[in-house]
Chain A
Amino acid sequence: MSQIEVSLTHRQGDFKLDAAFTTPASGVTALFGHSGCGKTTVLRAIAGLLRVDQGRVCINGETWQEREQFIPTHQRPIAYVFQEASLFSHLSVRRNLEYGWRRVAKEQRRVQFDTVVDLLGVAPLLKRATHRLSGGERQRVAIARALLTSPQLLLMDEPLSALDHNAKQSIMPYLETLHDELGIPSLYVSHDPNEVARLADHLVFLEQGRVKACGLAADLLTRLDLPVSRYDDAAAILEGRVSTHDPTYHLTWIGMDCGRVAVSREDLPEGHYARVQILARDVSLSLRAHSDTSIINILPAKVIDSRDINPSQVLLRLQLVDGQMLLSRITRRSAVGLGICEGMTVYAQVKSVALMV
């Protein structure tokens, strides 16, 4: 029963939404697509801010909307983070945080006020007036305010898109720790593949109001039939655990069942969950495992799909021995030279790995 079931049809001028998907009510599910594809409309409908023509919204077996039944927004156990922080300007930061917190009955509170305040690093801001905050600070307060309602579902509508690069980078770590720390399932609207790769466990691809694909993020991001694998910064995500630290060369090794990869030294305990992002353009191939190369991350893999993405480049989908997927973009000349074909075993040489947790 622990899942999110959504099915919506709605007409708004020329735009027609006809989307249905089911996703586990755990971790982060990203609603992903170009602007105008209906992501925000879906999120607003789930929150009850928009009453769609026809729809069914069912969370963990509880029906929020079906036929004539419609639970109004303030009675849904959700939290919503908007694109702009939208703090109440007539209240101080503390009052903003307390707004939702006070409206939830004591016995229904499942998060501690101080825990959330610390988690988002807003303690030093409590006494300030909202208009004295920077963009990043405002959004952190907004996220904390939303979480303090002890939601069963956290809805986020591109919470980083209104921020500059630095503010984005400063908030990202908070978002990454959120679902580990609080275990609140969330739906995250985004058009940024990089954000999705960093945060999402599951993906719902929307295109012109319809669901194009839905499933595990690691799988969908590497599917060659979906446009996201063709982006210039297309990437695969791999999951593993911190295995050892190498103090001599200042590296941290991430172990997986398919081998190990090195990242720059990070202060994480051994055994800690780790997610890494590997760009398609950083993966080259060889037919044998070379040791006379500067590349230290070499993983055996099987080619399971290939597409020409332009006259000079080929995109390959590789399956590692533990089943995880990798993308590799190489020149067509090399692919032909090596005689790459589906089913073939190769060695993926990974030039650069980005650690995300």
Chain B
Amino acid sequence: MDWQAIWLTLKLAATTTFVLLLIGTPLAWWLAHSRAWWKEIIGALVALPLVLPPTVLGFYLLLLLGPDGAVGSLMQRLGLDTLPFTFPGLVVGSVIYSLPFVVQPIRNAFVAIGERPLEVAATLRASPLDRFFGVALPLALPGFITGSVLGFAHTVGEFGVVLMIGGNIPGETKVLSVAIYDHVESLEWTQAHWLAGGMLVFSFVVVFSMYHLEKRLQRKGY
């Protein structure tokens, strides 16, 4: 069995989701509240992975992070290893690839809350940080759940970016989708069936539970 690939995939998806929540939340907040004219340029950049072929994204990342790329050469000069064909490299690629799936729902949730609850909190003596954590975050909870689930699931299912920037190193970069591709290439239909079928069930369960959870939150008055 391909337990190693499954474990690696889950680890990658979890790490990516965690990083995405950390950087996606302030980004979503800024996109929801800023009045800068160039806001939508950033918004479009964030949404770009939705339409860009993953291989294109992977190709540019490979160039950028490779020893001759701007980021790669800088890392080498700092005495760090370059990222392509490593697990951290996969995380970087996945974060960029899944960015819109996390940022968009959270941004929409922040917009949907509106200014009013935050104004109310301000008149009730809550400082800006207090308002963010005590009012904005909990009210945007449905957006965070949707964003996390989509970000996680989308990372589990990615293929093009992984192949370009990670390659196919067992235990380091060989994730599920690549493993399936491998099995098919070598005509190992049974193994391919097991993994593909598992993915199908997993995806259905994820999407179904998300809808279910959203319904329950709506009933709770969100």
Contact = CB atoms under 8 A, between A and B. Distances in A.
Interface of A: 47-49, 72-75, 78-80, 82, 84, 86, 88-90, 99-100, 103-104, 129-131, 145-146, 149, 155
Interface string B133-157: 0110011010000000000000000
Contacts of B135: 88
B116 A100 contact: no
Contacts of B138: 90
Contact of B123 (A47, A90, A104, A131): A47
Nearest to A99: B124
B34 interface: no
Q: Closest 5 A-B residue pairs measured CB to CB?
A: A100-B124, A131-B221, A80-B123, A103-B125, A73-B122
A290 to B, nearest CB: 55
Interface of B: 116-117, 119-128, 130-131, 134-135, 138-139, 141, 220-222
Given A129-B221, A130-B221, A86 B117 contact: yes
B123 A73 contact: yes
A75 B126 CA distance: 9
Nearest to B135: A88
Given A74-B126, A103-B124, A49 B119 contact: yes
A47 B124 CA distance: 11
Contacts of A88: 117, 120-121, 135, 139
A47 B123 CA distance: 8
A89 B222 contact: yes
Contacts of A79: 123
A89 B123 contact: no
B199 to A, nearest CB: 35
Q: Is the interface of B mostly helix, strand, loop or mixed?
A: helix
Contact of B120 (A48, A75, A86, A131): A86
B122 A72 contact: yes
Contacts of B139: 88-90
Nearest to B123: A80
Contacts of A89: 139, 221-222
Contact of A74 (B116, B122, B221): B122
A82 B114 CA distance: 14
Contacts of A78: 123
28 contacts: A49-B119, A49-B123, A73-B119, A73-B123, A74-B122, A74-B124, A74-B131, A78-B123, A79-B123, A80-B123, A82-B116, A86-B116, A86-B120, A88-B135, A88-B139, A89-B221, A89-B222, A90-B139, A90-B222, A99-B121, A99-B126, A99-B134, A103-B124, A103-B126, A145-B124, A149-B123, A149-B124, A155-B123
Given A86-B117, A90-B222, A130-B221, A74 B141 contact: no
Which of B125, B131, B220, B222 lies at the interface centre, i.e. has the most chain A CB atoms within 10 A of its CB? B125
A47 B121 CA distance: 12
B180 to A, nearest CB: 41
Contacts of B131: 74
Given A88-B121, A90-B139, A149-B124, 10 more contacts: A47-B123, A49-B123, A74-B127, A74-B128, A89-B221, A90-B138, A90-B141, A100-B124, A103-B124, A129-B220
Contacts of A75: 125
A75 B127 CA distance: 8
A129 B120 CA distance: 18
Given A88-B117, A89-B221, A130-B221, A146 B126 contact: no
Nearest to A81: B123
A47 B120 CA distance: 11
Contacts of A131: 221
A250 to B, nearest CB: 45
Contact of B125 (A49, A84, A149): A149
